[in-house]
Amino acid sequence: MFGRKVISIPAESECLPGRDETMPVPDEHRVLKTPLKVQDDRYDTITVGMGCFWGAERLFWRMDGVYSTAVGYAGGVTPNPSYDEVCSGRTAHTEVVKVVYDPHKINLEKLLKTFWEEHDPTQGFRQGNDLGTQYRSAIYYTNDAQGAVCKRAAERYQAELSHAGRGDITTEVEPLKTFYYAEPYHQQYLDKNPNGYCGLAGTGVKCK
Protein backbone atom coordinates (compact mmCIF):
# COMPACT_ATOMS: atom_id res chain seq x y z
CA MET A 1 0.00 0.00 0.00
CA PHE A 2 1.42 3.35 -1.04
CA GLY A 3 1.40 6.35 1.27
CA ARG A 4 0.46 9.86 0.30
CA LYS A 5 3.11 12.06 -1.25
CA VAL A 6 4.56 14.44 1.31
CA ILE A 7 3.90 18.07 0.33
CA SER A 8 6.66 20.55 1.11
CA ILE A 9 7.92 23.91 -0.08
CA PRO A 10 10.72 23.34 -2.59
CA ALA A 11 14.26 24.52 -2.00
CA GLU A 12 15.33 27.56 -4.01
CA SER A 13 17.53 25.35 -6.21
CA GLU A 14 14.46 23.27 -7.12
CA CYS A 15 12.28 26.22 -8.16
CA LEU A 16 11.44 27.16 -11.73
CA PRO A 17 13.49 30.00 -13.28
CA GLY A 18 10.55 32.24 -14.15
CA ARG A 19 11.11 35.31 -16.32
CA ASP A 20 11.99 39.00 -16.31
CA GLU A 21 8.76 40.14 -17.97
CA THR A 22 6.04 41.29 -15.57
CA MET A 23 2.42 40.25 -15.94
CA PRO A 24 0.28 42.82 -17.80
CA VAL A 25 -2.90 43.60 -15.87
CA PRO A 26 -5.85 45.97 -16.39
CA ASP A 27 -5.42 49.57 -15.29
CA GLU A 28 -8.73 49.65 -13.41
CA HIS A 29 -10.33 47.46 -10.75
CA ARG A 30 -13.41 45.91 -12.34
CA VAL A 31 -15.62 46.42 -9.26
CA LEU A 32 -14.21 49.39 -7.37
CA LYS A 33 -13.21 51.43 -10.45
CA THR A 34 -9.94 52.38 -8.76
CA PRO A 35 -6.41 51.75 -10.07
CA LEU A 36 -5.34 48.11 -9.87
CA LYS A 37 -1.77 49.24 -9.28
CA VAL A 38 -1.87 51.85 -6.53
CA GLN A 39 0.98 54.26 -5.89
CA ASP A 40 -0.42 56.64 -3.32
CA ASP A 41 0.97 57.25 0.18
CA ARG A 42 -2.50 57.85 1.57
CA TYR A 43 -3.16 54.11 1.49
CA ASP A 44 -1.67 51.12 3.29
CA THR A 45 -1.28 47.59 1.92
CA ILE A 46 -1.50 44.14 3.45
CA THR A 47 -1.09 40.92 1.46
CA VAL A 48 -2.83 37.74 2.57
CA GLY A 49 -3.12 34.12 1.47
CA MET A 50 -6.29 32.20 2.35
CA GLY A 51 -6.35 29.39 -0.18
CA CYS A 52 -7.89 30.00 -3.61
CA PHE A 53 -7.54 33.72 -4.24
CA TRP A 54 -10.81 34.15 -6.15
CA GLY A 55 -13.07 34.05 -3.11
CA ALA A 56 -10.56 35.75 -0.85
CA GLU A 57 -10.37 38.78 -3.12
CA ARG A 58 -14.16 39.17 -3.15
CA LEU A 59 -14.27 39.22 0.65
CA PHE A 60 -12.01 42.26 0.76
CA TRP A 61 -13.33 44.30 -2.16
CA ARG A 62 -16.72 44.24 -0.40
CA MET A 63 -15.33 45.88 2.75
CA ASP A 64 -15.84 49.61 3.36
CA GLY A 65 -12.49 51.38 3.42
CA VAL A 66 -10.78 49.01 0.98
CA TYR A 67 -9.56 51.08 -1.95
CA SER A 68 -8.32 48.34 -4.29
CA THR A 69 -7.54 44.63 -4.42
CA ALA A 70 -5.53 42.42 -6.75
CA VAL A 71 -4.67 38.74 -6.82
CA GLY A 72 -1.22 37.35 -7.31
CA TYR A 73 1.60 35.27 -5.94
CA ALA A 74 4.05 35.82 -3.07
CA GLY A 75 6.20 34.11 -0.51
CA GLY A 76 8.26 32.10 -2.97
CA VAL A 77 11.21 32.21 -5.32
CA THR A 78 10.26 32.12 -9.02
CA PRO A 79 10.10 35.63 -10.54
CA ASN A 80 6.94 36.59 -12.45
CA PRO A 81 5.43 33.11 -12.31
CA SER A 82 2.42 31.92 -14.29
CA TYR A 83 -0.62 30.32 -12.65
CA ASP A 84 0.34 26.93 -14.06
CA GLU A 85 3.84 27.27 -12.64
CA VAL A 86 2.51 28.15 -9.20
CA CYS A 87 0.13 25.18 -9.33
CA SER A 88 3.05 22.90 -10.15
CA GLY A 89 4.38 23.43 -6.63
CA ARG A 90 7.79 24.42 -8.04
CA THR A 91 7.77 28.18 -7.36
CA ALA A 92 7.38 28.17 -3.54
CA HIS A 93 4.70 30.87 -3.93
CA THR A 94 1.24 30.92 -2.40
CA GLU A 95 -1.89 32.48 -3.91
CA VAL A 96 -2.48 35.87 -2.30
CA VAL A 97 -4.64 38.97 -2.34
CA LYS A 98 -3.07 42.41 -2.14
CA VAL A 99 -5.44 44.62 -0.15
CA VAL A 100 -4.97 48.38 -0.44
CA TYR A 101 -6.94 50.22 2.23
CA ASP A 102 -7.54 53.66 3.66
CA PRO A 103 -6.32 53.54 7.30
CA HIS A 104 -8.60 56.47 8.14
CA LYS A 105 -11.66 54.41 7.16
CA ILE A 106 -10.72 50.86 8.17
CA ASN A 107 -7.97 49.57 10.42
CA LEU A 108 -5.70 46.60 9.97
CA GLU A 109 -7.30 44.76 12.89
CA LYS A 110 -10.67 44.67 11.10
CA LEU A 111 -9.06 43.33 7.92
CA LEU A 112 -7.28 40.66 9.94
CA LYS A 113 -10.54 39.68 11.64
CA THR A 114 -11.96 38.86 8.22
CA PHE A 115 -8.76 37.02 7.33
CA TRP A 116 -8.84 34.78 10.42
CA GLU A 117 -12.57 34.07 10.44
CA GLU A 118 -13.13 33.37 6.75
CA HIS A 119 -10.65 30.52 6.25
CA ASP A 120 -9.03 27.76 8.30
CA PRO A 121 -5.50 28.83 9.25
CA THR A 122 -4.66 25.44 10.78
CA GLN A 123 -4.62 23.30 7.63
CA GLY A 124 -1.03 23.68 6.46
CA PHE A 125 -0.70 23.19 2.71
CA ARG A 126 -4.41 23.08 1.98
CA GLN A 127 -7.74 24.84 2.28
CA GLY A 128 -10.68 22.46 2.21
CA ASN A 129 -10.37 20.32 -0.91
CA ASP A 130 -7.62 22.51 -2.38
CA LEU A 131 -4.30 20.84 -1.71
CA GLY A 132 -0.80 22.18 -2.38
CA THR A 133 1.78 24.66 -1.11
CA GLN A 134 0.06 27.40 -3.15
CA TYR A 135 -2.96 27.19 -0.83
CA ARG A 136 -1.12 27.80 2.44
CA SER A 137 -2.27 30.51 4.81
CA ALA A 138 -0.09 33.62 4.91
CA ILE A 139 0.11 37.25 5.96
CA TYR A 140 2.82 39.38 4.35
CA TYR A 141 3.19 42.79 5.96
CA THR A 142 4.89 45.91 4.59
CA ASN A 143 6.49 47.43 7.71
CA ASP A 144 7.43 46.60 11.30
CA ALA A 145 4.38 48.29 12.80
CA GLN A 146 2.08 46.16 10.65
CA GLY A 147 4.12 43.10 11.53
CA ALA A 148 3.63 43.69 15.24
CA VAL A 149 -0.14 44.02 14.78
CA CYS A 150 -0.27 40.83 12.68
CA LYS A 151 1.75 38.79 15.18
CA ARG A 152 -0.37 39.95 18.11
CA ALA A 153 -3.51 39.09 16.17
CA ALA A 154 -2.16 35.60 15.45
CA GLU A 155 -1.44 35.05 19.15
CA ARG A 156 -4.94 36.18 20.13
CA TYR A 157 -6.63 34.02 17.53
CA GLN A 158 -4.52 31.02 18.51
CA ALA A 159 -5.84 31.44 22.05
CA GLU A 160 -9.41 31.42 20.73
CA LEU A 161 -8.74 28.34 18.60
CA SER A 162 -7.13 26.51 21.50
CA HIS A 163 -10.05 27.36 23.75
CA ALA A 164 -12.37 25.88 21.11
CA GLY A 165 -10.29 22.70 20.87
CA ARG A 166 -8.92 23.47 17.42
CA GLY A 167 -5.37 22.97 16.15
CA ASP A 168 -2.35 25.22 15.84
CA ILE A 169 -2.13 28.09 13.37
CA THR A 170 0.16 27.32 10.42
CA THR A 171 -0.08 30.79 8.88
CA GLU A 172 3.15 32.37 7.65
CA VAL A 173 3.49 35.87 9.14
CA GLU A 174 6.43 37.49 7.39
CA PRO A 175 7.51 40.72 5.68
CA LEU A 176 6.48 40.93 2.04
CA LYS A 177 9.39 40.44 -0.31
CA THR A 178 7.75 40.68 -3.73
CA PHE A 179 4.16 40.55 -4.95
CA TYR A 180 3.66 39.24 -8.48
CA TYR A 181 0.37 39.99 -10.22
CA ALA A 182 -1.65 37.04 -11.46
CA GLU A 183 -3.00 36.83 -15.00
CA PRO A 184 -5.75 39.29 -15.99
CA TYR A 185 -8.47 36.61 -16.05
CA HIS A 186 -7.89 35.95 -12.34
CA GLN A 187 -8.39 39.60 -11.33
CA GLN A 188 -11.86 40.09 -9.79
CA TYR A 189 -12.69 36.62 -11.11
CA LEU A 190 -15.91 36.17 -9.14
CA ASP A 191 -17.32 39.43 -10.47
CA LYS A 192 -16.82 38.11 -14.00
CA ASN A 193 -18.07 34.66 -12.96
CA PRO A 194 -20.55 35.12 -10.07
CA ASN A 195 -21.20 31.39 -9.84
CA GLY A 196 -17.52 30.50 -10.02
CA TYR A 197 -15.69 28.32 -7.53
CA CYS A 198 -15.15 29.57 -3.99
CA GLY A 199 -13.79 27.02 -1.53
CA LEU A 200 -13.41 29.32 1.48
CA ALA A 201 -14.70 28.03 4.81
CA GLY A 202 -13.84 29.26 8.27
CA THR A 203 -13.47 27.35 11.51
CA GLY A 204 -16.51 28.95 13.12
CA VAL A 205 -14.25 30.44 15.80
CA LYS A 206 -14.65 34.20 16.19
CA CYS A 207 -11.69 36.55 16.33
CA LYS A 208 -12.15 38.77 19.38
Catalytic residues: 52
What is the number of alpha carbons within 13 Å of residue 102 lying toward its C-beta?
A: 9
DSSP string, 42-55: T-EEEEEEESSHHH
What is the number of alpha carbons within 13 Å of residue 191 lying toward its C-beta?
A: 18
Phi, psi (degrees; rounded to nearest 5) at 150: -65, -40
Burial class of residue 201 in the structure, from the number of CB atoms within 10 Å of its CB (0-12 exposed, 13-18 middle, 19+ buried) = middle
Query: Among the residues of 5-139, which ranges form H helices?
Result: 53-61, 83-87, 108-117
